Structure 1
Amino acid sequence: MTTLREKSTDSVYQQLRTKILSNEFRPGMQLLERDLVSLFGVSRTPVREALVRLQKENLLQIVPRHGIRVRQVSLADIEEINQVQTSLEATAAGIVAAATLRAKDLAPFDQALQRHGAGAREKRPRRLVRRRRSLLRASAEAGRQSSAHADRQ
């Protein structure tokens, strides 16, 4: 059973991670625990636990008595993200290809694919990651639409 503190930690973790990956919290930015407590409206414990998780993912660096710093994304990080994303995209594409979809089910997927194609030429890795994530969400949604359509028949 999930406790309230675990839910708070997960919520803070997800929100912080999103802010980092969306570049709202930019690389090199200094964060203070008390500011994050105020921002998320939780106690220090969920914030600390979320920060430790993000440090383990190399998204943050915790400097005792100095605060928290958002880490720079390295070329190795980008390559690793690209490998994982490519694998996920192939799986998602296989699911969509195997599904019986109607044209209206594919519209969100097609829009995300267009945005992703336009963004692939950019030199902004975080924006590319966001577009890929959007593409995967649209692909998953298209698969759910297909499943729902098949269940009705």
Structure 2
Amino acid sequence: MRIALTLLALPLLAACVPPVEPRQDPLQLAGTALPQDGCTVPTLAGGESGVGFEGIPAAQAALLGRWVNGMWDDTRACHALTVEHISPDGSVVATFATGASSVSPPTARRVTGTVDETGRLELTLPDGSQAIYALAGTTLRGAHIANGVMRPVALNRG
């Protein structure tokens, strides 16, 4: 009897497990996003454009510096990113800044993350959310991922 109940319960338990979503590509997520001229955001002292070490791959070095004119599509808040430093091991220090919106004041936060050899940059923000970026030509495309919601953005070198 116990075996029969266990066998009946297995399909129900399997149905309760949420499906695993494949890792989203920021180039695909932000494929239709466009940089918005004139966006302004706060900056942090000492957050000047990138300083990297010799020997980092070209795909990583291309991310160094300031990226501007991003706009989150849902809040219409401006966004800028400054990749300040990339270490040979792929660790990154960056400034993640967002302008004022109807739901939050302007913020600028120094954050850390990693960049792989292909140039995929992943940052962890203080609230536990994640930002992912990758270059598409001269545009930095990315997505902010929080509570299962992905918000696309596109930025220009600034």
Q: Same fold (TM over 0.5)?
A: no
Larger fraction in helix? 1
**Structure 2 length as normaliser, TM-score?**
0.21
